[in-house]
Structure 1
């Protein structure tokens, strides 16, 4: 994926302990194609412009790590993180990032394991088979599926014939449907979206395991963002109403029934799972 930059000079005017900002620089983990991420964000960006009085620019990034580095290195102001990328950003910044809101659906998020093989009906059946995760830094496409595999006494690194990383959830589905791997693990929301849009045939590619729920995605900002701007952004998300045409469009594109406040403590289980899986230093 090409890194598309819309960054302009002079976005921040620093003065003493406060700063005036003309552009809100936003990005998201690339768990789908860049064109799809931009399509989903466009109405939300226009809405946030009205609510904040600022220009909002969406900058796709090349990979999950770039979204973390962009936020903590002051290249971005707000990022749509998965639970694991939020934990990584919090650790890398030494606590200098703050999650503002999440979807109601993110309180009890799930991953699905899919296959085309009739011989695979449970996680234990994956032993000796090939499996695709999404990105290595994906919560729902790698960390939590790996965690539940380990809990089922299946070690992806030693019990499977081969593991691959597709880079994105839709790419995982394509790999399974195309016979490149025996099975795949991905975000339940994107799986359902692909089924609803008839981009995958659930009679051929089927879900054989759905994980228990866990906290996942959120919108995160840097801790040094002015309090009044944090409040404007938070209130804008909380005000989204499916009963209005604008709210309905945005919420549907974001696969959300509504947004609710969140906090860093919600992601302690994700942090523990990452450490247990050896994906985060203890």
Structure 2
């Protein structure tokens, strides 16, 4: 082959390869802690924002459960995910080099609310609601930090008993919004959910808050986080993970932030979630 023609072909191949790499889509997901419609509203807008900031196509991939989000991350079906504290720990343990890169400003001091149907007669108190003994109680998802892990830890710390021993009946609603609905309807007398979902329901004037009232809140703990796989720099170029982190921390559009809802995102790292890992191991929720 003519040397010039060969050189031209090589150059063309390199150009096409670079173009393909530039168009490589970054997929991200999120734990389904709320209704699917609301999740799509939140994360489709985030995908558009990240696409512009990173100059690569970004697409949100919905999942049906907390374990499904972790599995998608482990299998490289998504490279970035908005996890809860526990699911983030689970994902990072499964993917070498994965790291937490951002969290909401509120996530350093997150709390769970215990709520009760008004027919129970339980009212707000700074003390753990001992009068809830024997009542029915629902967590959220089984691996939710704010809907299960930390509420269960609080129950055990304050009563010296497992939830199944303290309450008359214990279940799992699947997500925070569903917990609110079920307690408000009286299907469950008491439940635990993250404060942000309840506060948003109050701000939205949701009818559920009229019959499901906050009776207690847990001490603060670290929770939600953006976690990224450790091999993204190999795929999108050196420094890509840091670029994603900068884009998230730089997100200042009030509408985007309100969708989470968060006031701002700040930098995070794996060390921020050591306490969550310790509690997860205590309760046998981590292998």
Q: What is the match of residue 13 of structure 2?
A: none
Find the aligned partners of 2:148 and 2:257 in 1 and give their Cα distance. Answer: 26
Find the aligned partners of 2:120 and 2:136 in 1 and give their Cα distance. Answer: 15
Is there any run of 5+ residues in structure 1 with no aligned partner, and where? 1-14, 242-246
CA contact (8 A) 2:120 2:189 kept: no
CA contact (8 A) 1:240 1:251 kept: yes
**Offset at residue 202 of structure 1 (A):** 3.4
Q: What is the match of residue 175 of structure 2?
A: 168
Q: What is the match of residue 42 of structure 1?
A: 44
Is the counterpart of residue 231 in structure 1 residue 238 in structure 2?
A: no
- Structure with greater proportional helix content: 2
Of the two, which has the highest radius of gyration?
2
**1:155 is matched with which residue: 162, 168, 182?**
162
CA contact (8 A) 2:201 2:209 kept: no
Find the aligned partners of 2:152 and 2:129 in 1 and give their Cα distance. Answer: 11
Is the counterpart of residue 272 in structure 1 residue 274 in structure 2?
A: no
Find the aligned partners of 1:68 and 1:166 in 2 and give their Cα distance. Answer: 19
State how 1:235-274 maps to structure 2 within 5 Å. 235-241=246-252, 247-274=253-280
State how 1:1-282 maps to structure 2 within 5 Å. 22-93=24-95, 95-116=96-117, 117-121=119-123, 122-153=128-159, 154-226=161-233, 227-241=238-252, 247-281=253-287
**Offset at residue 251 of structure 1 (A):** 1.2
**Offset at residue 147 of structure 1 (A):** 0.4
Q: What is the match of residue 6 of structure 2?
A: none
Q: Aligned-residue CA RMSD in angstroms? A: 1.6
Q: Matched residue of 1:57: which SS?
A: strand
CA contact (8 A) 2:44 2:59 kept: no
**Offset at residue 42 of structure 1 (A):** 2.2
Q: Deviations over 1:63-117 (max 9, x none)?
A: 1001001011111111100000011112233x43211100110000000000114
Q: Matched residue of 1:202: which SS?
A: helix
Number of equivalences: 258
TM-score, with length taken from structure 1: 0.87
TM-score, with length taken from structure 2: 0.85
CA contact (8 A) 1:123 1:152 kept: no
**Offset at residue 34 of structure 1 (A):** 1.4
CA contact (8 A) 2:109 2:222 kept: yes
